[in-house]
């Protein structure tokens, strides 16, 4: 089946630093990927839609200058959390919609802790 | 108004019983609906999808959709302790176009 690989699985960083999260579609091409954030005991909140070769589309309330998204190829999207703060600590998950399948496939998620 | 709503639970059922999970959605244009299971600390995994009115069965799972009532449900027969997780209902289409909108999830606990 379609696999979305996400790295790293977890990361701890200091306040003010930047963290990059990668999301790869391993056996299919993804022109669109979705980035979600999930705080403890809450549901997934869509942050942005990553579009290959064009600018990402951000949801209302999500700072595009803080959460930089790059989708330079059909198999790779990256989310960079810039100048991270403790309130950015969360579970970040990417997903894609493989052609010919129903439902979105999720990456394994990245647990970000900012100290 | 939240676009996809679920009872947060927790819902507790004894092992072997039927677990019934419910979901309502507000966007009448939504076309496809999904049930995901999420274990603590893990990313969601797809259990069922449904886009036609009626029932859809897959093993121990049955999804039910009633578009007139804007209601989706998931039944889990012969519940097992390994079914204990949070179940997320999601809708696709309508004004959200190609975005999957998730409900808050229902926590299910299957008691041995």
What are B50-68's pLDDT values in tens digits? 999 999 999 999 999 999 9
Distance from CA of B9 to the nearest CA of A (A): 12
Q: How many residues does chain A have?
A: 115
Mean pLDDT value of segment B67-94: 94
Please give the structure tokens belonging to residue A97: 């919609």
Residues of chain A in Cβ contact (below 8 Å) with chain B:
6, 32, 34, 36, 42-46, 49, 91, 93, 95, 97, 102-109, 111
Residues on chain B touching A32 (C-beta within 8 angstroms): 98
Report the residue of A46, A89, A100, A104 to disrupt the B interface, i.e. the one with the largest count of B CBs within 10 Å.
A104
Distance, CA of B56 to CA of A113 (rounded, Å): 40
Using the beta-carbon criterion (under 8 Å), do B101 and A42 form an inter-chain contact?
no
Does the pLDDT of residue B2 top 70, yes or no? no
Q: Average pLDDT of chain B? A: 92
Residue with tokens 């960083």: A13
Q: B34 CB near a chain A CB, below 8 Å?
A: yes
In this structure, are residues A34 and A49 in contact, taking their beta carbons and an 8 Å threshold? yes
Compute φ and ψ for B95, nearest 5 degrees: -70, -20
Q: How far is CA B79 from CA B52, B89, B94, B95, in A?
A: 25, 18, 33, 35
Does the pLDDT of residue B38 top 90, yes or no? yes
Q: What is the pLDDT of residue B7?
A: 87
Q: What is the pLDDT of residue B96?
A: 63
Q: What is the pLDDT of residue A54?
A: 87
Confidence of residue B97 (pLDDT cuts 50, 70, 90): low
Please give the structure tokens belonging to residue B106: 């229902």
**Residue ranges of chain A with pLDDT lower than 50?**
none
To the nearest whole percent, how much of chain B has pLDDT over 70?
Answer: 96
Q: What is the pLDDT of residue A42?
A: 85
Does the pLDDT of residue B20 top 70, yes or no? yes
Using the beta-carbon criterion (under 8 Å), do A97 and B42 form an inter-chain contact?
no
Q: B103 CB near a chain A CB, below 8 Å?
A: yes
């Amino acid at each position: 089946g379609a696999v979305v690989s996400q790295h790293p699985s977890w990361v701890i960083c200091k306040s003010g630093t930047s963290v990059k999260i990668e999301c790869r579609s391993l056996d299919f091409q993804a022109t669109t990927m979705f980035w979600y954030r999930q705080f403890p005991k809450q549901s997934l909140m869509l942050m942005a839609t990553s579009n290959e070769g064009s600018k990402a589309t951000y949801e209302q309330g999500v700072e595009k200058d803080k959460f930089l998204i790059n989708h330079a190829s059909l198999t790779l999207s990256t989310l960079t959390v810039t100048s991270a703060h403790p309130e950015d600590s969360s579970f970040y998950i990417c997903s894609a919609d493989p052609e010919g399948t129903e439902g979105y496939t999720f990456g394994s998620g990245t647990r970000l802790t900012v100290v | 108004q939240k676009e996809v709503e679920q009872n947060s639970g927790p819902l507790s059922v004894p092992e072997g019983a039927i677990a019934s999970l419910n979901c309502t959605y507000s966007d009448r244009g939504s076309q496809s609906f999904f049930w995901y299971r999420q274990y603590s600390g893990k990313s969601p995994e797809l259990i069922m999808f449904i886009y036609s009115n009626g029932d859809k069965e897959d093993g121990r799972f049955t999804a039910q959709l009633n578009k007139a009532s804007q209601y989706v449900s998931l039944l889990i027969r012969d519940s097992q302790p390994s079914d204990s997780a949070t179940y997320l209902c999601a809708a696709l289409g309508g004004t959200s176009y190609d975005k999957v909108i998730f409900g808050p999830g229902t926590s299910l606990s299957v008691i041995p």
